[in-house]
Chain A
Amino acid sequence: MKHLSDQELMRIVQAGDFSPASEIYDRYSSRIYNFAYRFLKNSEAAEDATQEVFVKMLKHANQFHGDAKLSTWLFSITANWCRDYLRKSDNKAKEAEDVLVTLPAPAEYSPERTLEQRENAKRIQKALTALTPEQREAILLSRYQGLSYAEIAQISGCSEGAVKTRVFRAMETLKKALTGKERGGDRCLTAM
């Protein structure tokens, strides 16, 4: 089934045949899992999210329209799941307790470089934690999934303008946390 497009695979699923499930999982599980993991900072919750997203994809396959991108639809389901998860007060306490389990560093990396990378990863994860969930969702979809503002707006259920604002606010917070640079006190007043 590797030669079939996402839309073709989904049409088979929509016809009641779940045999493309494995292929679709292979194509998207890493992106879905990583998004959920970075959003929730909890590997157990990220696993549940990934599992449920793909099950929902099969159960509600007929809600998928062929003219949409499958990735956008899957991220919509994932983002909804993650928002619901965070809304439950019990789950908030679990945030940030998780330990990063990452892919092993390339063999050519020195131990110092590997250590530095791990420290960087921790700093970034911590900085992401400081964002509001809406800002985090926008920056994760934009920076790590390469989605357009229009796609993110569709996923987040807001306007493109709101997405731009969220990404900008997120970048301001991250800049401060990661580079130590705050927005300059001397504002440029030149009209651009």
Chain B
Amino acid sequence: MTHQHIERCATCGAEWAGYRETWQSLGDLPEVEVPAALKARFLASVGELDAPVVQFKRPAESRPHTRWLAQAAAAVIIAGGSYWIGHRAIPIQIAPSPATVNAPYSIAESRVLTASAISPDIEGRPDIQNVSFLDSNANNDDVGLSFDITSHVTVHGRATDKSMVRLMRYVLENEAHTPGRSRAIDWVKTTYSRPGNGNLEIADALATVLRNDSHEGVRIKAVETLNRMPGSVSSDTREALIQALKSDPNPAVRIKAVEALANLARSGATFDSATVDTLRQKAVQGDENVYVRVKAAEALSSIHP
């Protein structure tokens, strides 16, 4: 309507033409060249900066000095593997440096590795700290894992890259602190429950957490995540769910475990007789949580329609 009016009205048409002419003439202001030295000046200042506070940073804790000495003496190696173009194994060593607990790391101590370029075999039990997770987005399937060993390392690649899976498994099984394990599981849930990202090794690591973790919140998250990746549950993982249903002291864990088993049954998984027996017992166990009993019965009905 506005355009129709401008076409008909001489006054407004002239006004409009003036604005258009002005807008176009502003394009005659050329781009100014950025002085080349400015980049060098900026990059030089980067080395002097402290890194920002890392997301999910674990609170610093005092550690025995001897442990650091031992660690410094040990070569922390993510070994083996080779670069794409190499034909012989070149170990990717993350060499020890005389780091101290509170020493800020600089850009010189940071390295970025591509998951497909490093070996999936993790040698020894490196003590990793300050683990953070970099999510993928809609445009790119790459994910990343950042952590401190003796330098700050970021590994990025597809979630299904074997090295990425092994690193994630390592974090799940070795993260010493409850909040860290909890965040790791949250990230796994988001990343590995996506279609095509389900992974048996990750599921097995979650099963290990379910079996061994002393914190019920972490165990609940582990089962919830397993429930989101039914296609990746091995017999060993299923056994961990059965054990949780049978004997986990926390009813919320047992509820989540029986839900996961019911979900597996619905998805057509075949259960052995011992599993069926456990579900049957749970369905009729008088002192069990009512919801657990109902879900156990539901799982049984899915097995025997």
In the complex, are the beta carbons of B154 and A143 less than 8 A apart?
Answer: no
In the complex, are the beta carbons of B28 and A124 less than 8 A apart?
Answer: yes
In the complex, are the beta carbons of B38 and A33 less than 8 A apart?
Answer: yes
Q: Which of the residues B46, B54, B132 comes within 8 Å of A21, measured between beta carbons?
A: B46
B61 at the interface (CB under 8 A from A): no
List A contacts of B9 (CB < 8 A).
188, 190
B29 at the interface (CB under 8 A from A): yes
B232 at the interface (CB under 8 A from A): no
A130 at the interface (CB under 8 A from B): no
A150 at the interface (CB under 8 A from B): no
A165 at the interface (CB under 8 A from B): no
Number of interface residues of B (CB under 8 A): 55
List A contacts of B137 (CB < 8 A).
5, 7-8, 66
List A contacts of B50 (CB < 8 A).
59
Give the residue name and chain of the B residue nearest to A185 (CB): B11
In the complex, are the beta carbons of A102 and B110 less than 8 A apart?
Answer: no
In the complex, are the beta carbons of A188 and B12 less than 8 A apart?
Answer: yes
List B contacts of A16 (CB < 8 A).
51-52, 54, 105, 110, 130, 132, 146, 152
A79 → chain B, closest Cβ, in Å? Answer: 17
List A contacts of B39 (CB < 8 A).
22, 25-26, 29
B272 at the interface (CB under 8 A from A): no
List B contacts of A187 (CB < 8 A).
11
In the complex, are the beta carbons of B49 and A124 less than 8 A apart?
Answer: no
Give the residue name and chain of the B residue nearest to A171 (CB): B19
Chain A 57-80 per-residue mask, 1 if CB under 8 angstroms from chain B, else 0: 011111000100000000000000
In the complex where A29-B39, A58-B46, A187-B11 touch, is A17 in contact with B154 (Cβ < 8 A)?
A: yes
A110 → chain B, closest Cβ, in Å? Answer: 16
Chain B 15-29 per-residue mask, 1 if CB under 8 angstroms from chain A, else 0: 100110111011111
In the complex, are the beta carbons of B134 and A51 less than 8 A apart?
Answer: no
In the complex, are the beta carbons of B52 and A8 less than 8 A apart?
Answer: no
Q: Which of the residues A46, A50, A121 comes within 8 Å of B28, measured between beta carbons?
A: A121
List B contacts of A81 (CB < 8 A).
none
A 23-52 contacts with B by CB, 8 A? 25-26, 29-30, 33-34, 37-38, 43, 46-47, 50-51
B35 at the interface (CB under 8 A from A): yes
List A contacts of B42 (CB < 8 A).
21, 25, 29, 50-51, 54-55
A71 → chain B, closest Cβ, in Å? Answer: 16
In the complex, are the beta carbons of A62 and B53 less than 8 A apart?
Answer: yes
A19 at the interface (CB under 8 A from B): yes
B64 at the interface (CB under 8 A from A): no
B5 at the interface (CB under 8 A from A): yes
A94 at the interface (CB under 8 A from B): no
A148 at the interface (CB under 8 A from B): no
List A contacts of B176 (CB < 8 A).
none
In the complex, are the beta carbons of B45 and A55 less than 8 A apart?
Answer: yes
In the complex where A5-B139, A62-B53 touch, is A51 in contact with B41 (Cβ < 8 A)?
A: yes
Chain B 30-74 per-residue mask, 1 if CB under 8 angstroms from chain A, else 0: 111111001101110110011111110000000000000000000
List B contacts of A34 (CB < 8 A).
31-32, 34
A55 to B42, CA, bound (A): 7
Chain B 129-144 per-residue mask, 1 if CB under 8 angstroms from chain A, else 0: 0101011010110101
A13 at the interface (CB under 8 A from B): yes
Q: Which of the residues A8, A33, A186 comes within 8 Å of B134, measured between beta carbons?
A: A8
A184 at the interface (CB under 8 A from B): yes
Chain A 117-139 per-residue mask, 1 if CB under 8 angstroms from chain B, else 0: 10011001100100000000001
In the complex where A19-B107, A121-B29 touch, is A51 in contact with B38 (Cβ < 8 A)?
A: yes
A175 at the interface (CB under 8 A from B): yes
A12 to B27, CA, bound (A): 36
In the complex where A30-B31, A62-B53, A188-B11 touch, is A17 in contact with B152 (Cβ < 8 A)?
A: yes
- What are 10 of the A-B contact pairs (CB < 8 Å)? A18-B107, A21-B42, A25-B42, A29-B38, A33-B34, A62-B53, A102-B30, A121-B30, A128-B29, A186-B11
- A-side interface residues toward B, CB under 8 Å? 4-5, 7-8, 11-19, 21-22, 25-26, 29-30, 33-34, 37-38, 43, 46-47, 50-51, 54-55, 58-62, 66, 100-103, 117, 120-121, 124-125, 128, 139, 143-144, 171, 174-175, 178-179, 181, 183-184, 186-188, 190, 192
Going nearest first, the 3 A-B pairs with the smallest beta carbon separation are A16-B51, A15-B146, A120-B28
- B-side interface residues toward A, CB under 8 Å? 1-2, 5, 9, 11-12, 14-15, 18-19, 21-23, 25-35, 38-39, 41-43, 45-46, 49-55, 105, 107, 110, 112, 130, 132, 134-135, 137, 139-140, 142, 144, 146, 152, 154, 156
